[in-house]
Structure 1
Amino acid sequence: MSDWEADSDEDGPHGASTKPPPTLPAWRPAAAPPPPRARGNPDAGEDREESGGGKNWGSRPASAREPWQSRPLEYRARGSSRGEDRERAPLCFPLDNALVGTLIGRGGTKIKELEESSGCKIQVVKGNCEAMIKIFGGNDKQTKAKMLIDDLIERSSQGNAGERYTKDSFKHPDVGTICYHDSSFGGLKSGYSSPKQSINWASLRENKAKYEAMKWADLPPIEKQFYRESPKIASMSQEEADKWRKENNNITCNDLKDGEKRHIPNPICKFEDAFEYYCDVMENIRKVGFQKPTPIQSQAWPIILQGYDLIGIAQTGTGKTLAYLMPGFIHLDLQPIPREKRSGPGMLVLTPTRELALQVEAECSKYSYKGFKSICIYGGGDRHGQISLVNKGVDIVIATPGRLNDLQMNNYINLRSITYLVLDEADRMLDMGFEPQIMKILLDVRPDRQTVMTSATWPDGVRRLAKSYLKDPMIVYVGTLDLAAVSTVEQKIVIIPEEEKRAFTRYFIDTMKSEDKVIIFVGKKLTADDLSSDFGLQGIPVQSLHGNREQCDREQALEDFKKGRVRILIATDLASRGLDVQDITHVFNFDFPRNIEEYVHRVGRTGRAGRTGEAVTLVTRNDWRIASELIDILERGNQVIPEELISMAERYKQFQLKKEMERDLGRPRGRSRKGF
């Protein structure tokens, strides 16, 4: 099987004998008001037209709709029945919905000008695929209006390689077929003919390489190879390299290139082995005081510095950010084109959340390298300010996909100059639904770039993304590709009734030491606000972090938590990825996350950079579906597994078997209690 294919908080915190305080009254959301009663036929509005009366032309099947030329147009009586004047039947013809905006104009200005020029009333009836244009008035006025509309559409469609969207003739009830000269087709047109031409997809596919070469023909040259292997590392035998990898968190490497495999570089043991010839990088490392590279850095740096694309899979808190930043600085500095002559930024880091983007920008500033300018682009921030900074010139862009896609589509930022691309926390970006924005962004980044993808897990979605947008990458994963929590964190599971969760949380907070710092994870934004308000009323200083808070409030909450002004942060899964606060001692899962991957990421907020930590998780009867997966995570980490959790997993398995048997037998399944 190819490597691309899928293989497919304390125990009741101070002992079982400690009884938690009396249960606090559980918070319940206010009952939602009943929906307003519909008047009349509830389905009557669904087929209603957007403008005027008549039939919905776009929604009728082709077999039930005759061409307008073959249908006799009748006179329509207008006015009252007292004998007022009657007008001719309206002149009707179809038009693509894509061209309706050209006809109407902004604010309806174009169609008003057409009505004033021709003396006719023009009505647009939209359908699903095309609109029906109706012109009311006398014969001559209708003809004039039709000519004006054709001319407007013709002028708007110039430059489309002669493609025609308007009709070359139309049928009038009195005049018959009207012909006019079409210079773009070189002759007199008569009768009705379909102007649309079919797309030759086979030809497009055959010429894809040629079109791509034309698109990127004017790009400047790019350099990727910057690695100078030290004699000590070069002399390391294959057995010595494998032994070192196994002793350092069981590092595994593989070459995903098809065909003949390349030599995987030996891991470095000291910073000098990778950056001996790059004095500025070594100066930054000494200034921070790092002793030795982390396992992911030891193997990733030689691969990236040789110019290969890389997929780095490692647990949270293992140094993945520096693993791509340090080689990125060297890559930017040593390109053939000087910085002042480049047309835009050279390095792009895509991250899933604003908090992670700001954190990466802080790392860029901390390890400043030869005056490189970086900017953080994210939704919720000052858009005009971000555009202004981009226009002033930057070297490194750290961005969330949504805001970057916005600036890219509006031509505020040029991505053609990007030569070094990083997809940070790729699994989280896919979980958040950013795949369409990522694809649009990558289409505008030069194809011969160097790409680094980091992730804490290796699901199918990340494999597909890597296969589509990385070129012959190498993969490095630390530990195992099986999902596992950080080994330096002690995981404790507490089985508890739903109504006692708040009382237990208060008890946990009361037993915290003065130096402890905890993130309390909840499942809903409303729960975060409710808990923080509840604790605030009880005189407990807390901060909350979730997506509904203003960006300035989110930044203030993180700053207060990092600097120790508050020791308790109540957060949704927004804080489960990339949040790097070194002195977090506890993670408290008030609500179990929606999937086991998020549980692993939550636990990874503590025990970072070699420190130890504790994760306390409240599990209720409603969480029984995850019991089996949770047991697997606990077993991999050699953690204590409560008997109640094992029993819960067995009951859920029996419940699933019973449900499958009833479905196979075709009998309706009766109601059963949720969780047991």
Structure 2
Amino acid sequence: MIYDGVEGPLLWISKGDYEGEVQIFGSSKVQQKAREMIEELVAGDNGPGGFRRGRSGSIWSAAALQASLEDNPPQAIDWVSMRANRHKYEEMKWQDLPPLKKDFYFESEIVASRCEEEVKAWRKANNDIFVDDLKEGEGEKRPFPNPVVTFDEAFLHYPGIMENIVRVGFAKPTPIQSQAWPMSLKGDDLIAIAQTGTGKTLAYLLPGFIHMDGQPVKRDKQDGPGMLVLTPTRELALQIESECNKYSYKGFKCVCVYGGGDRRAQIKAISAGVDIVIATPGRFNDLQMNELINLHSITYLVLDEADRMLDMGFEPQIMKILLDVRPDRQTMMTSATWPTGVRRLAKTYLNNPMMVYVGTLDLAAVNTVQQTVLFCQDEEKKAYLFNFVHNMEPEDKVLIFVGKKIMCDDLSSDMCLRGLAVQSLHGDREQCDREEALKDFKESVVRILVATDLASRGLDVTDVTHVFNFDFPRNIEEYVHRVGRTGRAGRSGASITLVTRGDWRKAADLIPILERAGQEVPDELVLMAERYEKHKREKEMYGSRGGGGRGVRDRGESNWRF
């Protein structure tokens, strides 16, 4: 339907796109004028110089399009030249950047006076902390700052930070904070590898506050945020936002940007002016590509739970985002594991980073958790679970992990029908329902939460007493992160993992995890791993002969070596 002006004709096209029946409404005068225009248009459609909007979507005739191409032939992109001049183009892109300050560390006399033997003994006693210099090229490694063992040693010159720490009531820094704070306050890029629940969030947030406040260009003169925290899930993003608000410093404004949230409200919050953006890569990349946020103002970047972001396939979005963040920024990366993908990401996007890791670079589950492995058939799993639930103590709180969303709903429904107070958490639930589920679990309105691996990273509930792995995780990294949901903040915890015959591929991965954590390794787990190794050898042997292995089958194999 087409309407032109108050007194113009009303046209109703009742059939088709290319051949149509047109009904004209209005006065006789305007009807006649419209009829003449339509006839002129149709007549010109096939005549010389005529035009039509064909199936290609163009209003220009083929002759006109051909003429334009002859006058302005498309030029081939000289990729060789572009690659050769890449550094020149990068310099042009970043030539007008404002000045940047990174070093804000004041080493106290007490910290500086610690001898090498004293520092080594402290690191050994505090979860076996190791430090390393990943600077590329030859030459001596840079000296590592000594760890700080009290908050005063780190933030004596920043009373606003100290006031917040005293208000919250923390007694002393965690091991990762003690060693990470001096490095990050000095302005070095930093990789922090530590188990879940060890305080990595504050390890980068507090230095980030100081970094932003100390920039030569003040906040009211900046056209965009100063800090960006990229994180894999909405739940983790919301928890980091909560930490930002809890330790609010100098009135910094913080906004949380994630898929599934109110996009319009998020854009409005950013447009109103913001200092810190905490975001999932997908939604933030969406805002970036639509030019709704300025990334050139970001001087402090955090890649939180980098291993999880790579597992979830966010590497392309991360790469696009970092193209628009100034290259001389300070970058912090946290991870619970150190697989090949995370190493590649660190080498590409961090500038001569320092590394601090607690424990070992190998996978190691939290050693404050008693880990139990039970063997059963698939049809027996629910009986094992309900037996555990009915034997829970009143103060117990359990997080039950499943592999599929449908099983998450199935188990939570079964428990509701049995009169149990339970919540569920998975990616298909509405954001408001997910937030309500987390709130109920944190506040102990319910003491049972059934979840997919969505919740295995960054779920900050300190009083979870048990983790129940109803389904074995898809890889051993997820096992580590699931188990890390309990035994947090100095508490002890317990995990129960159900293993069925279909999980035999992962048996060999689980054994060293249990051994390094000082846990009992069941004989059946060892036998299962040996059977799978034999199965693999037979498959390779018969497969190499082209026979197909006498019916030996496997649906797929995992990469076991880390």
TM-score, structure 2 length as denominator?
A: 0.88
Q: Give the one of 315, 326, 332 matched to 2:206.
A: 326
Residues 158-178 of structure 1, C-alpha deviations (whole Å, 9 max, x = no match): xxxxxxxx1x2xxxxxxxxxx
1:429-440 correspondence to structure 2 within 5 Å: 429-440=309-320
Q: Give the one of 39, 46, 61 matched to 1:145.
A: 61
Residue aligning to 1:118: 49
Q: Give the one of 397, 407, 427 matched to 2:307.
A: 427
Task: Tell whether the 8 Å contact from 1:423 to 1:453 is kept in structure 2 after alignment.
Answer: yes
Distance (Å, rounded) in 2 between the aligned partners of 1:433 and 1:117: 54
Residue aligning to 2:29: none
1:28-107 correspondence to structure 2 within 5 Å: none
Q: Could you say if the C-alpha distance between residues 530 and 256 of structure 1 is closer, same or farther in structure 2, counting changes exceeding 3 Å?
A: same
Q: For residue 203 of structure 1, what is the amino acid of its counterpart?
A: S
Q: Could you say if the C-alpha distance between residues 111 and 217 of structure 1 is closer, same or farther in structure 2, counting changes exceeding 3 Å?
A: farther
Residue aligning to 1:509: 389
Q: Give the one of 104, 116, 122 matched to 1:226.
A: 104
Q: Give the one of 159, 167, 178 matched to 1:279.
A: 159
Q: For residue 149 of structure 1, what is the amino acid of its counterpart?
A: L
What value does the CA root-mean-square deviation take over the aligned residues?
Answer: 2.3
The question of 1:663 aligning with 2:543 is answered yes
Measured after TM superposition, the shift of residue 672 of structure 1 is 5.2
Q: Give the one of 638, 641, 646 matched to 2:518.
A: 638
The question of 1:206 aligning with 2:76 is answered no
Distance (Å, rounded) in 1 between the aligned partners of 2:297 and 2:540: 55
The question of 1:405 aligning with 2:285 is answered yes
Measured after TM superposition, the shift of residue 239 of structure 1 is 2.2
The question of 1:352 aligning with 2:232 is answered yes
Distance (Å, rounded) in 2 between the aligned partners of 1:489 and 1:338: 46
1:8-19 correspondence to structure 2 within 5 Å: none
Distance (Å, rounded) in 1 between the aligned partners of 2:155 and 2:547: 69
Structure 1 window deviating more from structure 2 (570-579 vs 116-125): it is 116-125
Structure 1 window deviating more from structure 2 (447-456 vs 665-674): it is 665-674
Measured after TM superposition, the shift of residue 594 of structure 1 is 0.3
Q: Give the one of 591, 594, 616 matched to 2:496.
A: 616
1:554-633 correspondence to structure 2 within 5 Å: 554-633=434-513
Q: For residue 637 of structure 1, what is the amino acid of its counterpart?
A: A
Distance (Å, rounded) in 1 between the aligned partners of 2:87 and 2:553: 60
- Secondary structure in 2 aligned to 1:628? helix
Unaligned runs of 5+ in 2: 1-16, 19-40, 556-562
Residue aligning to 2:177: 297
Residues 277-309 of structure 1, C-alpha deviations (whole Å, 9 max, x = no match): 100111111111111111111111000000000
Distance (Å, rounded) in 1 between the aligned partners of 2:151 and 2:526: 46
- Secondary structure in 1 aligned to 2:61? helix
- Secondary structure in 2 aligned to 1:242? helix
Q: For residue 210 of structure 1, what is the amino acid of its counterpart?
A: K
Q: For residue 463 of structure 1, what is the amino acid of its counterpart?
A: R
Distance (Å, rounded) in 2 between the aligned partners of 1:591 and 1:252: 34
Measured after TM superposition, the shift of residue 238 of structure 1 is 2.0
Task: Tell whether the 8 Å contact from 2:541 to 2:549 is kept in structure 1 after alignment.
Answer: no
Q: For residue 334 of structure 1, what is the amino acid of its counterpart?
A: G
1:479-518 correspondence to structure 2 within 5 Å: 479-518=359-398
Distance (Å, rounded) in 1 between the aligned partners of 2:397 and 2:446: 8
Distance (Å, rounded) in 2 between the aligned partners of 1:537 and 1:630: 35
Measured after TM superposition, the shift of residue 393 of structure 1 is 0.3
Measured after TM superposition, the shift of residue 116 of structure 1 is 8.7
Task: Tell whether the 8 Å contact from 1:229 to 1:273 is kept in structure 2 after alignment.
Answer: yes
Task: Tell whether the 8 Å contact from 1:115 to 1:145 is kept in structure 2 after alignment.
Answer: no
- Secondary structure in 2 aligned to 1:252? strand
Task: Tell whether the 8 Å contact from 2:52 to 2:61 is kept in structure 1 after alignment.
Answer: no
Give the number of aligned pairs.
Answer: 515
Distance (Å, rounded) in 1 between the aligned partners of 2:438 and 2:56: 53
Residue aligning to 2:322: 442
Distance (Å, rounded) in 2 between the aligned partners of 1:459 and 1:347: 26
Q: Give the one of 442, 458, 461 matched to 2:338.
A: 458
Residue aligning to 2:142: 262
Distance (Å, rounded) in 2 between the aligned partners of 1:593 and 1:521: 8
Paired-residue identity, %: 64
Measured after TM superposition, the shift of residue 149 of structure 1 is 2.9
Q: Could you say if the C-alpha distance between residues 385 and 120 of structure 1 is closer, same or farther in structure 2, counting changes exceeding 3 Å?
A: closer
Measured after TM superposition, the shift of residue 117 of structure 1 is 8.3
Task: Tell whether the 8 Å contact from 1:114 to 1:149 is kept in structure 2 after alignment.
Answer: no
Residue aligning to 2:533: 653
- Secondary structure in 2 aligned to 1:118? coil
Q: For residue 250 of structure 1, what is the amino acid of its counterpart?
A: D
Measured after TM superposition, the shift of residue 662 of structure 1 is 1.1
Measured after TM superposition, the shift of residue 148 of structure 1 is 3.4
TM-score, structure 1 length as denominator?
A: 0.73
Distance (Å, rounded) in 1 between the aligned partners of 2:153 and 2:359: 23
Q: Could you say if the C-alpha distance between residues 112 and 600 of structure 1 is closer, same or farther in structure 2, counting changes exceeding 3 Å?
A: farther
